[in-house]
Each structure stands twice: as C-alpha cells, then as structure tokens.
Amino acid sequence: MRPSLIVADESVDGQVVRALRAEGYQIDYIAESSPGSSDDDVLARAATGGAMLLTADKDFGELVYAQRRIGNGVVLVRFPGLSPEQKAVRVLWVFRYHGAELPMSFSVIGKQRVRIRHR
C-alpha cells in the first residue's frame, strides 16, 4: 500500500514534488502552504494529518529518533550534487518500487541505495 498523503518539507525540491504529484500522490508542500514553518510544526502537521513526511533536512532524523516521533513515516532524501531533475527521477523510482515499505518507517534515499528502517 503506497502512502496516501505526503507532507513535503520546504527542503524538498519542487521538481520532486511535481514528479510525485504527476504520479497521483497527494502532496502538502510546505513551501506552498506554510513557508517558514518550524521542523516541529511540520512533523506535527504530518502526524496530525496521518501523512508521511518527505524531507531533505537531516534535523528530522534527530526529532524522529531522539524524541521517538516517527509518526506515519519519514523519507529523508540525500542527494548531494544531483540536479533537481535527477533527484525527482530517483525519488519517483523509490516510491514506485518501495512505496509499500515506506509508511511507518524511517527511510533514507541516497544516490546509490535506499535504507528502510521499520519501527
């Protein structure tokens, strides 16, 4: 079962958001709906709305693990040096082929691999 709603933090490239929307994912993009929101507010918004969080901000890792706030799942995108278009292609591939594994887990998408940790 793929995630039904995704909250995308401001750190996520717009290309990634557009690619996921084109695939039919419902995305609440913080850059559009609530720019400048704190990490705590973004995580609470995802949890309250039953959404998975998509972010490129490593600070969410601390919130999730140190404070045990995984919510409905977190996907951390780590692509230093890739263009927004390349990031979009990679994220879309992961959501297509690993989408059912992403909810309720902490996942890291890197250039060469995908790590999915279930809670």
Q: Are strands 74-77 and 105-109 parallel, antiparallel or unpaired?
A: parallel
Q: What is the mean pLDDT of each run of 10 residues along the chain (119 residues)?
A: 85 96 95 92 87 89 68 88 93 93 90 86
pTM value?
0.91
Number of domains in the chain: 1
Number of H helices, E strands in the chain: 5, 6
The residues near 10 (Cβ < 8 Å, ≥ 6 apart) are 30, 31, 35, 36, 37
Q: Residue 109 is part of a domain; what is its CATH number?
A: 3.40.50
Write out the residue range of the structural domain in which residue 28 sits: 5-118
